Amino acid sequence: MEEPALLRPWLLAGREGPPPALAPAPCVAAALALGVALGVARATVPEHRVLPELRVPAETGTIFVHELEREPFLEAFSGSEDDDAPVTFRAHLRDHPDLPRWLRFAQRDPGQPGYLYGCPLAAELGTHSIQVLAYNRRTFATVSQRLLIIVSPAPGGEAPFQAEFLVGNRNVEELLPEAAREMFLQGSAGVWGRGDLHVINVTSALHRGGRVPLPIEGRREGVYVQVGSHSPFSPCLAAAVSPQSRSRCQRGQRPLASCYDTFAPHFSIRWCNLTLLQVRPSPTPPGRRWGSGVLEEGGAFEPPGAGLRALLPAFLLTLLVPLAAAALLCALLAHLMCCRREGVEKRDMQTSDLQLAHHSSILGDSRELRLMARSRDVPRPLSTLPMFNVRTGQRSDPLGTLRDPLGTLRDPLGNLRDGARAPLLPQ
């Protein structure tokens, strides 16, 4: 028994703990021998089978739906005779972990089929290789199939008139079968008044920001269905998206339209979410052609060059624009600082004579007081004298005051002295 084969059942079952493949080969052999010796039945590793390759065509601007039916995979399971076995599908782009951006996968539960659906655009022209894996959740048997989706341009081109309806009473997998889509097109033909309609795309409301419904019977997620036609919109559709209808929708009322009953009773359309688009047809670009990836004999690889670029305009833009902005700011600053000054003469001319005389008298008096204070000879204020003798360190009272045993200030003659008038910093 090969060790990689033992990994498959543990990976598919999602069990916890180390798989047997991580154990050394002698330990695995010893464990199997011990199980046989004790009469324990040896577990059979399910085989992996491959179904034949399947080619499916698709067109741009039209819904693509491929149903992954359970019957072919159940028949391919090794020893599976149970038609009700739960089967889970997984799909991804070959050699890639995810699907292409235009393709989605939906499967509600293991008892229902899976669906690959989406709307390819002109950029998706070509062949897309999808790897589909199905496994039985009871026996963990696996079956894979390669699906080739060949996208080609639509013969009639893209539909210029498109309408998007929100179906509130359906899930996305309920509108993917062909019968359900045909029934929806019949209701759309009654609204549009035309028969050349086709479904462009089907999108779940959860992918548009919708909320997951409560687990109550009858609640659905909602589905956006986009329908296209080459004929103009009917008056009913135009009235449903008119400003008067939008105003009524904001007030919680139904819009002004006379075609409410065309989808009943199968589909419940939320007319306030109706969107009409008029798309201009664009030429279809050619699809990408994939080569073998091997150079011919004697050939040389020539990578696509970016070509010569003129760097002078970019250099001038990078260098001259900051310099010009700096020069402009310097000129503005110089004008404000040098050219906007009033000057003393201009200010004196705008001032009244009385105010000038008052100001001049104040300046003259201040100057005279400073001169008088500079020329007078007076003793130094006591507050500026030192608190104690720097040489001896002895403290002395500048006024010669003494304190009696009760703490009262007295002069040398014994008279009382006002302590409030004593200098703050004694000598």
Please state whether 318 falls in left (phi above 0), alpha (psi between -120 and 50) or beta. Answer: alpha
- Domain map (residue ranges) of the chain: 3-37, 46-156, 158-281, 381-427
Work out the angle at residue 266's Cα, subtended by the Cα atoms of residues 264 and 270, and round it to the nearest 5 degrees.
Answer: 65
φ, ψ for residue 79 (rounded to 5)?
Answer: 70, 20
Residues 6+ apart with CB under 8 A from 331: none
Element (H, E) at 68: strand 64-68
Q: Alpha-carbon distance 219 to 79, whole Å? A: 39
State residue 343's pLDDT score. 73
Domain 46-156 falls under CATH 3.40.50.2300: no
pLDDT recorded at residue 192: 87
Report phi then psi at 346, rounded to 5. Answer: -65, -35
| pLDDT score at 20 | 41
Backbone angles phi, psi at 386, to 5 degrees: -70, 155
Element housing 151 (H / E): strand 142-152
pLDDT at 398: 52
Name residues of the chain where pLDDT drops below 50. Answer: 1-43, 418-420, 422, 424-427
pLDDT at 298: 67
- CA 266 from chain centre, in angstroms, equals 37
CA dist 174 → 86, 222, 232, 249, 281 (Å): 19, 10, 29, 27, 31
Contact criterion met (CB below 8 Å) for 144 and 133: yes
SS3 (DSSP) at 56: strand
Q: How far apart are alpha carbons 253 and 244 in whole angstroms? A: 11
Domain 158-281: top CATH class: alpha beta
**Under 8 Å CB-to-CB from 408, ≥6 apart: which residues?**
416
Structure tokens at 333: 């600053």
Rounded distance, CA 427 to CA 383, Å? Answer: 9
Q: Which tokens sit at 140?
A: 């963990």
Cβ atoms within 10 Å, residue 132: 21
Give phi and psi for 9, each to the nearest 5.
-65, -35
